[in-house]
Amino acid sequence: MLRTLPAALAALLLLIAAPASAQQSKILVGAFEVPPFAMKEPGGRWEGIVVELWAAIAEDLGLDYELRQYSRDEVEQALRSGEVTLVLTAIATAESEPRIEFSHPYYSTGLGIAVPIDGGLPGWLVVLENLVSWDFLKILIAVLVLLLAIGVVVWRLERRANPEQFSRHAGNGIADGIWWAAVTMTTVGYGDKVPKTRLGQLFGGLWMFAGVVLVSIFTAQVTAALTVSTLHGRVRGAGDLPYVQVGALSNSPAQEQLREQFGTRARGYDSFAAGLDALSNGELDAFVASHPLLRHVAAKDYAGELRVLGTTFLRQDYAIALQLGSPLRKQINAAMLRFIETDDWDGILRRYLSEDQS
């Protein structure tokens, strides 16, 4: 019996140690680089908003983990196959929801637009381009249609009593009327065409006052359009994207959303550096990606060359992705909510997004 005592003690120690060992087993966590949410330093150390958030959640839940880098295309497959337990750098989308689960969003933002600081073209080229733009042509067409209408009216009023100035022939007479309407509207006043009938003179007087107002409106619209374009470049918001050369990450949600929502076929790039280099070199007019990511990279690597527009579009919710039915989801959500109510979370956001919030 004494011989079996050491074996029994050893078995008892193994039974006691087994739960603690199982509890401390590491889980594999996947991530890919998305500044400023997750960034891998040259020495292999990870930092960023979600990296620090996850460290706090893991400490709260007593989880031991290993953070492993994946490519953007590999990470979802690694999650669905069970290779990793969760993925830190995920954007919650309706398309992905049937395949994987998401935690509560820890940061909500949208797509941003990076443009060259000089607008991509010299100022005089921007003005020249806008003189033949559709917006300018719409104003010009409206003015020409109005002049045509006024010319027809004054010709019909004057053609019988004043044929020497407003020809009885429809083509020539309407041309005379348009000429008189344009001269009167612009207050040039050559005096070569003058209404002689009472109705023609009354109509001419009304047109004179209306012309002053219309010229002022026309001048203000054209000046505003040209000034804004010269100061802010070709791209001032998402509405301009269908008319310019746009870039985005290849096979990214941004590239897909641009095609579906705006009909914009954005040129795909394998990395942010490649896309922003193309923008800086004048190959693109705009590059679209997550707004905080663009602000971080532009401020760090392209200061003085690129700027990011202040507005965002097409909302994006950053969240932690888990396998379907993961038992960790509720625990992670609870720990996340506890942490984001603390001053530590506010400090993390200020530290990484100070450029975004300026």
What are the tens digits of pLDDT across the range 270-319?
Answer: 888 899 999 989 899 999 998 988 888 888 888 888 989 888 888 889 99
Per domain, the residue ranges of the chain are 15-108+316-353, 125-232
User: Which comes out higher in pLDDT, residue 223 or 4?
Assistant: 223
Which spans in 233-285 are helix H?
253-262, 272-280
Q: Which residue from 139, 145, 140, 153 is spatially nearest to 206, judged by alpha carbons?
A: 153
Same fold, 15-108+316-353 and 125-232: no
Q: What is the spatial distance between Cα 156 and Cα 200, in angstroms, rounded to a whole number?
A: 9
Q: Cβ distance 100 to 322 under 8 Å?
A: yes
Give me the mean pLDDT over the 104-119 stretch: 87
Residues 6+ apart with CB under 8 A from 160: 168
Q: What is the 8-class DSSP label of residue 160? A: T
For domain 125-232, which architecture applies?
A: Orthogonal Bundle (1.10)
For domain 15-108+316-353, which architecture applies?
A: 3-Layer(aba) Sandwich (3.40)
User: What pairing do the DSSP bridges indicate for beta strands 86-91 and 27-31?
Assistant: parallel
What is the overall mean pLDDT for the chain? Answer: 83
Please give the pLDDT value at position 226. Answer: 58
Q: How confident is the model at residue 257 (pLDDT cuts 50, 70, 90)?
A: confident
Its pTM stands at 0.60
User: What pairing do the DSSP bridges indicate for beta strands 39-40 and 46-47?
Assistant: antiparallel
Q: What is the spatial distance between Cα 322 and Cα 101, in angstroms, rounded to a whole number?
A: 5
pLDDT at 129 over 70: no
Q: What is the phi-psi region of residue 312: left when phi exceeds 0, alpha when psi lies from -120 to 50, beta otherwise?
A: beta
Give me the mean pLDDT over the 190-197 stretch: 85
Three-class SS state of 197: coil
pLDDT at 263 over 90: no
Q: Which two tokens stand for residue 307?
A: 């700027």
pLDDT at 22 over 80: no
Please give the pLDDT value at position 157. Answer: 92
What are the tens digits of pLDDT across the range 216-227?
Answer: 887 777 666 555
Give Cα 243 distance to the centre of its chain: 14
Q: Cβ distance 322 to 92 under 8 Å?
A: no
Please give the pLDDT value at position 106. Answer: 94
